[in-house]
A and B are shown apart, each in its own frame.
Chain A
Amino acid sequence: MLKITDLKAGYAGSEVLHSLSMQVGDGESVVVLGPNGHGKTTLLRAISGLIRPTSGRVEFDGQIISNKRASDIVAAGVIHIPQGDLPFPELTVMDNLMLGAFRPDAWRVRKQKLEQVFELFPTLRERPNQLARSLSGGERRMLALGRGLMSKAKLLMIDEPSLGLAPFLVENVYETIRNIRGMGLSLLLVDENADHIAGLADRIYLLEAGTLIKEGGADEMLRDEALLSAYLG
């Protein structure tokens, strides 16, 4: 479904990703693990079109998307839930969610989508008129996930779902992502530790200094504690 070949990307002359190749299959759940500053966020930003790859190719459902605009990539069904949530601070929870359904095909079914999202995140249902900037960290994360799910996503990409959350909320978020997985989406998660991804990932890639250095089935990789601790610290 998602196929990346020899992707190079970075910012203003400094290359962050060096010839990276990977794929995510239909309905598959893939986790890219890597320490901070090694290119996980850049990878997602390059896929979703926030930055333009300098070379290489990203294909989705057989179509090349690496030369497309972010809005067309969303229209193709690739949804990126960004690091730091990036809510629209001066808009209400409801308006934030509605913007998640901006593309016409999602907009038409926004009522049904909203019901699904509210079922997944009952807290959001209770405060539709609250401004996003006044939400707590946990609520913001739910809003970001819910906003992403308002779209007609085929592939959901999530950037460090536990970043900045209070410890007691972290397991909660991963539980939610496991539920999202059950909705038949493909998933691409980037994360800096492997503590919470058991039962969530089908396959794992290890990312170091802008290149993927190892790939394998989640069960066998997660069992290899020596490798993970050597690598992620």
Chain B
Amino acid sequence: MEKLFQAIYGGILYGSIYGLMAIGLTLIWGSLRMLNMAMGALYVVGGYLTWTAFKMWGTPSLVAIILGVLAAALIGLLIQVLLINRLLGRSSFFNAAMIATVGAAIMIESAALLIWGPRVKQMPPIIEGHIKLQGVVIQYQGLVIIAVAAISLALLGVFLRRTRYGLAIQAVSQQMDAARLMGIPTVLTFMIVATIGAAFAGLAGSLLSSIFFVAPTAGYTPLAKALIVTIFGGLGSIKGTIWAAYIIGVLEAFLIVYFGAGFALPVLFLFMILMLVIRPSGLFGLGEIQRL
């Protein structure tokens, strides 16, 4: 019972983080049909900026988190404007864009190494204290992360469904030609999507800086998990990605609690491979739509 509860709580916590990391990947896939491999680096940017604002500049932790998110958003926008926008319309767009983002990720990690050095950093908890439920220790900070993730994903949903540019983002991902015929400026829409995606990765890095260490290469594991989540949920599907985030989170937590941490990643990859074999477009994927 205690183990079960531990697994469920841990699963929701992981799921929250994966949701934040994966939502950007899926949004960007939806509108641009490319993988943004710099998401891990943007996660790191969020973590470092939050740490720096809090430790070096002495800002309150809420401000530090906001600064982390803004920094990641800004760099995400720069990657879009300086690299991706210049590749639009090429026949090899998918590969070129993916490699460009890998390059951007390496540059960001190297810059982080130069600026912050090789020693890992850690934020103190955003909020101290814990409760004990069914014998399981639940940190308040875990609850904060779960709540912030849920609220920010819900706000994104409202933005996508209720606002002019939110609808435009959906339009671009579903029917590119028609979106252009509605007068939607597609390049601007891509920039908005890239910025939002980066902000979410930054939020994940920022929130997690008080649980995990911040290091230049700390983004790789979250990126790998986010890729598993988006492929499992269906690239381009927001609903599928959020479902998959929590499913994969809970699955991982169960594997860790019942079988040990070593099993988690291999089994998750196995799951991803099985999904690709059985249902290549994922739970709710857009399928094989070639466009750009």
Q: Which residues of A contact B (CB under 8 A)?
A: 48-50, 69-71, 74-75, 79-82, 86-91, 95, 98-100, 102-103, 107, 147, 151
**B170 an interface residue at 8 Å Cβ cutoff?**
yes
Q: Is the CB of B178 within 8 A of A90?
A: no
Which residues of chain A come closer than 8 Å to B177, judged between CB atoms?
50, 82, 86
Render B165-198 as a binary contact track against A, CB cut-off 8 A, 1 for contact. 0011011001101111111111000000000000
Chain B neighbourhood of A81, CB < 8 A: 181
| B185: contacting residue among A69, A79, A90, CB under 8 A | A69
**What would be 8 A-B contacts, judged by CB atoms less than 8 Å apart?**
A49-B180, A82-B177, A86-B181, A87-B178, A91-B170, A99-B171, A99-B184, A107-B164
Q: Assess the A88–B170 pair: CB atoms within 8 A.
A: yes
Q: Report the separation of the CA atoms of residues A48 and B180 in the bound assembly, to the nearest whole angstrom.
A: 9
B161, B170, B175 pick with most chain A CB within 10 angstroms: B175
Q: Which residue of chain B has its CB nearest to the CB of A150?
A: B182
Given contacts A82-B178, A102-B164, contact A91 B183 (CB under 8 A): no
A68 smallest CB distance to B (angstroms): 11
Given A95-B167, A102-B164, A107-B164, A86-B183 contact (CB < 8 Å): no
Judging by beta carbons under 8 Å apart, are A103 and B183 in contact?
yes
B2 CB, nearest partner CB in chain A, Å? 42
Bound-state CA distance A4–B151 (Å) is 52
CB <8 Å contact, A99 and B167? yes
Contacts of A90 in B (CB 8 A): 170, 174
A70-B167 in contact (CB<8A): no
Kindly count the residue-residue contacts between A and B in the assembled complex, taking CB atoms under 8 Å apart: 66
Contact A71 B186 (CB under 8 A): yes
Nearest neighbor of B237 in chain A, beta-carbon distance = A90
Residues of B within 8 A of A (CB): 161, 164, 167-168, 170-171, 174-175, 177-186
Are the CB atoms of A88 and B183 closer together than 8 Å?
A: no
Q: Is B181 within 8 A of A50, CB to CB?
A: yes
Query: Which residue of the partner chain, among B175, B183, B186, contacts A89 with CB atoms under 8 Å?
Result: B175
> Is the pair A88, B164 in contact by a Cβ cutoff of 8 Å?
no
B167/A91 in contact, CB under 8 A: yes
Q: In whole angstroms, how far apart are the Cα atoms of A173 and B184 in the complex?
A: 27
Cβ–Cβ contact A74 & B178, under 8 A: no
Q: Residues of A contacting B167 with CB < 8 Å?
A: 91, 95, 98-99, 102
Taking a contact as CB atoms under 8 Å apart, the answer to whether A71 and B184 are in contact is yes
Q: A75 to B185: give the CA distance in the assembly, Å.
A: 10
Measured between beta carbons, the chain B residues less than 8 angstroms from A103 are 183
Knowing A71-B185, A99-B182 are in contact, say whether A88-B168 is a contact too (CB < 8 A).
no
| Complex alpha-carbon distance, A102 and B182, angstroms | 6
Q: Which residues of A contact B182 (CB under 8 A)?
A: 74, 99-100, 102, 147, 151
CB distance from B92 to the nearest CB of A (A): 14
Q: Are B175 and A88 neighbours in the complex by a CB distance under 8 Å?
A: yes
A43 to B177, CA, bound (A): 15
Complex CA–CA separation, A50 to B291 (angstroms): 13
Closest 10 CB pairs of A and B: A74-B183, A86-B178, A70-B180, A71-B185, A103-B183, A88-B174, A102-B182, A71-B183, A99-B182, A86-B175
Closest chain-B Cβ to A61's Cβ sits at a distance in Å of 16
- What separation, in Å, do the CA atoms of A178 and B232 have in the docked complex? 49
Residues of B within 8 A of A79 (CB): 181
Please, how many angstroms separate the alpha-carbon atoms of A74 and B181 in the complex?
7
In Å, the complex CA distance between A70 and B171 comes to 15
Residues of B within 8 A of A87 (CB): 175, 178
B184 touches A91 (CB 8 A): no
Cβ-defined partner of A75 (8 Å) among B164, B180, B183: B183
Decide: A88 near B178, CB < 8 A? Known: A102-B168, A107-B164: yes
